[in-house]
Amino acid sequence: MLILKLSDKLFIIIHLRISGSLFLGKKEGRYARIIFKLSDGRWLQFCDGRVLGELRLVNDWRELPIVKTMGPEPLDLTRQGFVKLFTGKKTKIKPLLMDQAFIAGIGNIYAQEAVFCAGIHPQREANKLNAEDLVRLYNCLLKVLREGIKNKGTSADSYYQLDGSKGGNVPYLKVYQRDNQPCLKCKTPLKRIVVAGRGTTFCPHCQK
Ligand SMILES: [Zn+2]
């Protein structure tokens, strides 16, 4: 969720979903759906090819059902808070990481990268992981998210930066879309499976 504060009682709330992006430029961007003409002459544009994203003008973003049902923000969680959240959950770890009501903001790319970094099989049930595994996963999750932010996003699919250029994180991905290529830790060919309906690439040797 992107929260743009216009005043204390007026906010624009944006959820980009699968194909949305924000573009700041003086000519109309591809798939521009809503254009805000800014006082400095530039145009802030909400572009969305598949029209699955959401943009709302609201008085209080905290009251939106989508916000109320969302889990905690991972970069705000402490190590203890993360371990407590995941302990005893019977769901497989990768779909659990991607469950927005459980923990917010983690998509298919960063979930795969985090479990690879932590050496955890994407289909392991969370309740089979001990505190040490969960701490490792916490550190890895923060590492891959911070790396993605530092590199200005992963433009593997439809993500673009505000100026329309691609983010620089794809070369740093270790497993996502690297099916059959050698694992960067052990050289075993990476394998692709489907976990809870989503394609998942992992190392059968490093991830247990
Ligand atoms: Zn490996």
**CA–CA distance, 135 with 138 (Å, rounded to integer):** 5
pLDDT per residue as tens digits for the range 92-136: 999 999 999 999 999 999 999 999 999 999 999 999 999 999 999
Q: What is the pLDDT of residue 66?
A: 87
Question: How far is the centre of ligand 1, averaged over its atoms, from the C-alpha of 63 (Å)?
Answer: 45
pLDDT over threshold 90, residue 181: yes
Question: How far is the centre of ligand 1, averaged over its atoms, from the C-alpha of 186 (Å)?
Answer: 4
Residues with CB under 5 A from ligand 1 (ion): 183, 185-186, 188, 203, 205-206
Mean pLDDT of 189-205: 98
Residue-range domain boundaries for the chain: 2-68, 74-202
What global pTM score does this model have?
0.92
Q: Which CATH superfamily is domain 2-68 in?
A: MutM-like, N-terminal (3.20.190.10)
pLDDT per residue as tens digits for the range 50-66: 999 999 999 999 999 98
Q: Which CATH architecture has domain 74-202?
A: Orthogonal Bundle (1.10)
The partner residues of 202 in beta bridges, in order of sequence, read 191
